[in-house]
Structure 1
Amino acid sequence: MREVRWRTPLWVTLQNGIRRQFCGPYDALDFLENEWPNHQVQQARAVKACREALQHPEYANSAKNCFRAACIEASLACNEAANPGSRAEAKMVSRHP
């Protein structure tokens, strides 16, 4: 399984106000499985989509859309802003440089 990266990272504002950057399905899957605030329908779909994207890179964009839908369902703000704020407020979660 190789790392698949999204063309543009997705920034998510957590419930505590911290913003985190997700660069691909691996980052999103790790968060969905280990830190997700509530397990609902979109979260389960996003987990499945991220796993599929790691096996089939052509599904990466679909995984990103599913992850975004899960964020919305969990009331987590998300966007693809190029400049999400200062580095002090952003916590990078990418597992690969």
Structure 2
Amino acid sequence: MNEYLKQYIELQKQFRETKGKADSVRALYAFKEELEQSEDTQAKEVLVYVWYSQEEKIVSTQPRPGYQEIGFASLEEWFNFIQALTKDGYRIT
């Protein structure tokens, strides 16, 4: 797992634990901006695709059998999608 993904998972954990308090939201937006500006391909890989299961309410950054794959044309689309799922109780793995 790359360092960007580890950081993203930690920020999402903080977001859930604080129930979306302002500091955790600001940290996620700052991270999104950092990834957008990065030239590192590993940074971009964190944001391009996710796989999710509506039945299990899980979002994964890795392919999983039976999960739906979705790709995003922009980081903003990706971020909004992830944020909506976490608000609906999805866990990120």
Which gives a bigger RCO, structure 1 or 2 (Cα 8 Å, sep 6+)? 1
Tell me which interval the TM-score lies in, with the shorter structure as reference length.
Answer: 0.3 to 0.5
TM-score, normalised to structure 2's length? 0.35
TM-score, normalised to structure 1's length? 0.34
Greater helix proportion: 2
